Structure formats: C-alpha cells, structure tokens
Amino acid sequence: MTEQLSTLLSWILTLMITCLIVAMIVLWLIWQHLRRLNVPPNAGFFETMHYLPIALPIALDLLDLGLDILAAPISWLLLDRLGLRGLRNKAAVEALIPFTQPIPIFTIGWVIARLTGLGKTVPEERPS
C-alpha cells in the first residue's frame, strides 16, 4: 500500500514539475507579445480573453496545476504587470479554490469567449 502511494505521489510531483516548466517556457516565449497588448483597463474577463493569444490561458492553467495554491500570488503579479486586470482577480480566486487545478478554467474561458462572442465589444454606430 505504501509503495503504491509513493508511486502515485511521484507521478503527481513529476506532473506538477513538468507543468511548471512548460508554463515558464510558454510565458518566456510570448512575454514580448503580451507586453504589447492594448487591453482596455476596465475590460472584464471575457472581453480580455478576446485580446489574448491562446498560449496565455494555457500557461496560466499549467502554472496553476504546477504550483497549486502557490500560483495565486505569482499569477496575480504576472497579470498585473501585463495590465490584464480583468483576469487578475479570477486567477487568484481560482488558484485558491481546492481541487480546481486539473480543470483548465482559463483555456475553457478563452474558448467560450471566442465561440460565443461573450465580452466582444460592438463598435458604436455613428449618427447620420
């Protein structure tokens, strides 16, 4: 029984470390692109998702899986530095909720925003 538990914990630790490494590589590769994003400061969650490449939600989900509860302050600082305040609070709350780490919340949110058009701003019509 203890050998099985040891094996399981070893696999979980390997998965967490792999996710953390992949998240860091993805963030490093897209950092300059993310710094050039021009997201309105008052944009909500779904509106912000329309500005992002899919790589950021995937990296946030991998970071959350790799660091568990420790992802909350890191993702908060990362999203604050990038000016993505519409995601900042959601990332911190999601990282603090137990057992949500295996669920790719941000990737699902990005797909929902793109498929349904949630949060997409409609250009105002000019009066004739």
How many Cβ atoms from other residues are within 10 Å of residue 77's Cβ?
11
pLDDT in tens, 41-83: 888 899 999 999 999 999 999 999 998 888 889 999 999 988 8
Of residues 115 and 120, the one with the higher pLDDT is 115
| Averaged pLDDT, 106-119 | 92
User: What is the pTM for the complete model shown?
Assistant: 0.86
pLDDT tens digits, residue range 3-50? 999 999 999 999 999 999 999 999 999 999 998 888 888 888 999 999
Query: Which of these, 37, 42, 46, 58, lies nearest to 109 by C-alpha position?
Result: 46
